[in-house]
Chains A and B, each alone.
Chain A
Amino acid sequence: MKKIIIIGILNIFLVSLFSLLFTNNAYSQTITQGIKEQLITNIASRVAQLRLVEKRGIIGTVTNATNTQITILDIQNNTRFVDVDELTKFSSPKLKTAYGISDITKGTTLGILGLYNKESRRILARFVNVVSVPIVVRGGVAAVDDKNFTVDIVTIDDKKLIIDIGYTTTTYSYTSSGGYIKSGFSKIKEGYSIITVGSLDPKNENKISATRVVIFPEIPYIQKTQSQNSSSQK
């Protein structure tokens, strides 16, 4: 009987030991899996970090410039911070002499090409160039001045502008039946929708020297402007 009890106790001990070893092994496997997942996460995070930087090109107007940083307002009206270093190259097409960071003044329009960091949202500039951006105006023709070859337009934000149509201005017209065809100053009529590309007259801020004009004879703009005005008055 004593022998049987000893065998029984030994059996309990052995079964407990083997079961514990087995479950412990399973548990350590779970831990190993956890470490593995953590490692994968870490590697993925590092890869993402490496992908944080990409080439980007922006255009904006300078609001502030120091020896190491340029702050600009981009075309979407967002403030952007641009870092410059000894590798950054500066150029201005109008200047024959060397152009550098100290020549950049508030209000200058710059084209910046560099490395954008998605995390810090800053651009490390590699090329900084002074650029001129043409003005695009959308609106409707309010009046045509045949003598001075100018067109008065009302823009979508209700501004009144004078468009100077010169010899170099290219005028096109678009109709659903005729398509996109070359046109001229004489074809511009009151009430037409118009898109103008040009540059501001330095002497008159309400005057634009047009380089390109597209008119839409089938799309009456004035009616739209009037209805907008009447609804806004309400």
Chain B
Amino acid sequence: MKTEKIVLSFIATILGLLVAGVAFFLFSAKETTPPKTKATSTVSPTPTALPSISLTLSQPKDEEVVNKKTITVSGKTRSDAVVVILTNGIESVIAPTISGDFSAQITISNGQNIIEVVAVAADGETKSIKKTVTYSEEEF
């Protein structure tokens, strides 16, 4: 009698679990989960024929507003090039390192300043980048 009770209880437990499982499956099947948005990655087109002289500026940021008159101009070009940094009032000429990196501290004027960086390669080829940097202490 006791064994019968145990077996019956075991079978009832299994059946109970099955009923609960089926009920949950039916319940969750009704719910539609919104599709997860996939992270999109933009693939830039493969650059065609690179120019023989390259010039990139890491600093300053274009259209940046600063509250200090001395700013850093840094970037990368061909190692044999000469870099000329022209601002509203002064120019500075520097030679990049063997790896082509260059950096210089320049003083800017009040208001908007156009900073033009020109790289002149040994073969005469030039490339330039213009950036606007504004000196202002105005709060708005």
Contact = CB atoms under 8 A, between A and B. Distances in A.
A166 interface: no
A8 B11 contact: yes
Given A111-B111, A193-B124, A216-B120, A126 B9 contact: no
Nearest to B22: A16
Contacts of A58: 63, 112, 132
Interface in B59-98: 62-65, 82, 84, 86, 88, 91, 93, 95
A40 interface: no
B91 A55 contact: no
Judged by DSSP, the binding face of B is: mixed
A56 B132 CA distance: 9
B138 A4 contact: no
B124 A219 contact: yes
Given A8-B9, A15-B13, A23-B24, A138 B4 contact: no
A15 B12 contact: yes
Contacts of B24: 19-20, 23-24, 27
Given A76-B130, A138-B126, A174-B93, A133 B114 contact: yes
Contacts of A221: 124
Interface in A143-171: 156
Contacts, number: 149
A12 interface: yes
Contact of A214 (B15, B93, B95): B93
Interface residues of A, number: 57
Contact of A7 (B8, B114, B121, B126): B8
Interface of A: 4, 7-9, 11-16, 19-20, 23-24, 27, 55-59, 74-76, 87, 111-116, 126-127, 129, 131, 133-134, 136, 138, 140, 156, 172, 174, 176, 180, 193, 195, 197, 212, 214, 216, 218-221, 223-225
Interface of B: 4-5, 8-9, 11-13, 15-17, 19-21, 23-24, 27-28, 62-65, 82, 84, 86, 88, 91, 93, 95, 111-112, 114, 116, 118, 120-126, 128, 130, 132-134, 136, 138, 140
